[in-house]
Amino acid sequence: MQFMKAFLILEDGNVLTGTSIGSTKEVISEIVFNTSMTGYLEVLTDPSYAGQAVVMTYPLIGNYGICYEDMESLKAWPDGFIVREISRRPNNFRSEDSIENFLKVNDIPGIAGIDTRALTKILREKGTMNGMITTNENFVLDEVLEKLKGYTTAGVVKKVTCDERKVFPGNGFKVALMDFGSKNNIVRSLQQRGCEVTVYPAFTSADEIIKSNPDGIMLSNGPGDPEECVSIIQEIKKLIDSNIPIFAICLGHQLVALANGAKTHKMKYGHRGANHPVKDLSTGRVYISSQNHGYVVDGDTLSDDVAEVSFVNVNDKTVEGVSYKGKNVFTVQFHPEACAGPQDSNFLFDRFIHMMEGTK
């Protein structure tokens, strides 16, 4: 079989050659890496990857195929997909499709045959950078590098949020879920605990949510620079002042910190994978977590009068969770709903339920 050549051109001038998989369109994107060994479909359908091309560090991807039931949203979101080896003949009793066909259907260009671990070392040493995926063998490097330097990821929350309010039934607490790029398993995790979940578009006003009289508010994960979400942060301030219990994940966690006067900053290469250890400072216990973020809350900017850090990353000591004093608000940077990843921290949904019980 004849395979088409494809190239990954990095902002630092590195050019890596492999074979084309999926769509053959040309894209420029931010190149990030994920260290998960499984869960590639959940990665591909996580809206938090909007505006990014994902490098999978595990060398064989696609061996158990595609099971559409496992999708975390209605479509795939990354701009590109980069792997060492793609399995063209998946073997699993649940498999409904191949990953290569899934990429084609979702118009996502990719490359196989890249030394992804060498690429990951570059990104770890030099930091996350922009890159181009192309099948054009006649590219002019200087022209491409000029385009890469001018590329920025912006407006991605607007791109991924739902268009209208949606209600998922339950006979327990009423939870309002702000969709900044929410994964399906957040809704499932709440429904498993009996909650009725109403999903709201990201730019819904705080007044509309408060008037619906929810028992609790969930702020979801999502893509991009949190400081870009200026109008959303203003509405979150009003939600916090309402004293309705709030549980926030990932981007939601960062937005709550910004609403309370803290700062966030971009990490050198972020945390993306299903194997990140986090420590609960109240118990000393360590949990293995699923993560996907390139920005982090600056703990030094959190006022001691307002908040205290509740979880830290074991590897680099960055802030992984915050509890807010005198408020029914707690937030985490990692993903307790996992999918894909360990279920170690899904007890945090139970904590949210108990918080809502305590306000009744």
Q: Which amino acid is at 256?
A: V
CA distance 22 to 35: 21
- Beta-carbon contacts of 244 under 8 Å, excluding residues fewer than 6 positions away, are 210, 214, 215, 216, 217, 328, 359
Annotated binding-site residue numbers? 48, 222, 224, 251, 254, 292, 294-295
Residue entry with tokens 């181009």: 132
Q: Which ranges in 45-140 belong to alpha helices (H)? A: 99-105, 116-126
Catalytic site residues? Answer: 250, 335, 337
Q: Which helix or strand (DSSP H or E) is residue 274 part of?
A: strand 263-280
According to DSSP, residue 227 is labeled: G
DSSP output for 35-63? --SS-HHHHHT-GGGTTEEEEE-SSEE-T
CA distance 168 to 195: 9
Contact call for residues 114 and 16 (beta carbons, < 8 A)? yes
**256-259, long-range: CB within 8 Å, 24+ apart, which pairs?**
256/219, 256/322, 256/324, 256/329, 256/331, 257/297, 257/302, 257/307, 257/322, 257/331, 258/226, 258/227, 258/229, 258/233, 259/233, 259/234
Token output for 22: 């999926």
Residue count of the chain: 360
CA distance 187 to 197: 7
Give the SS3 label for residue 282. coil
Annotated binding-site residue numbers for L-glutamine? 48, 222, 224, 251, 254, 292, 294-295
Q: Which ranges in 139-205 belong to alpha helices (H)? A: 141-150, 156-160, 184-191
